[in-house]
Amino acid sequence: MTPLAEVECLVSPERRLILVCGDAPQDTGFVPDFGTGRLCYSDRDVLYLVSVSDYHDASVTLQTWDAEPPPDPAAEHSEAVEVELSRGGAFVSALLGPRVSPVLRVGPPGRYHVRVDVTGREAVRLRLVDLDDRPSGVERFVVAFWPTGG
């Protein structure tokens, strides 16, 4: 089983956050309770991914699937949410920053299941001991979208 389409980019987390935005104008006013310690928070046209640190460049891959993808056995942590995409597309952005990935055409406007898998968190923690080393692509997020069927 392979994804129908995917886009990948590197992004520098700001305040440990990475945004995955729908390609509709953003004005949800959504502010998650980050004290709950989750990997991913969702609202209409936005996902907040929580990184292990600010001081690195994370790899983010967005994928679209026609059904639930197989689990990633290498994932250190996974979380499932749902998101409504008003126009059916999504892209990666730094917090309050410009788009850093192409738009992934997920499908028609509507609700989607999302699973976020992440690897490399412990490796980033270990490398951050050396302040001269800025890890790039070590923490890897895979954000998979598939239809809710409803």
Q: Residue 122: in which H helix or E strand, if any?
A: helix 121-127
Range name among 7-16, 31-40, 111-120 with the lowest pLDDT average: 31-40
Are residues 63 and 1 in contact, defined by beta-carbon separation less than 8 angstroms? Answer: no
32 domain residue, yes or no: no
Segments forming the whole domain that contains residue 81: 5-23+38-147
Answer yes or no: is pLDDT of 49 > 90.
Answer: yes
Average pLDDT score over residue span 34-61 = 87
More confident residue, 72 or 12: 72
Q: Which amino acid is residue 64, in one-letter code?
A: T
Average pLDDT score over residue span 94-100 = 80
**Tokens in use for 92?**
């990666």
CATH code, domain carrying 102: 2.60.34.30
57 domain residue, yes or no: yes
More confident residue, 25 or 71: 71
More confident residue, 90 or 13: 90
pLDDT value of residue 84 = 95
Q: How far is CA 55 from CA 62, 132, 144, in A?
A: 22, 11, 25
107 domain residue, yes or no: yes
30 domain residue, yes or no: no
* Residue whose entry in the numeric block shows the structure tokens 């239809």: 147
Beta-strand pair 110-119/77-85: antiparallel
**Model confidence band, residue 147 (pLDDT cutoffs 50, 70, 90):** very high
Alpha-helical regions (H) of the chain = 121-127
Number of domains in the chain: 1
33 domain residue, yes or no: no
Beta-strand pair 136-147/57-64: parallel
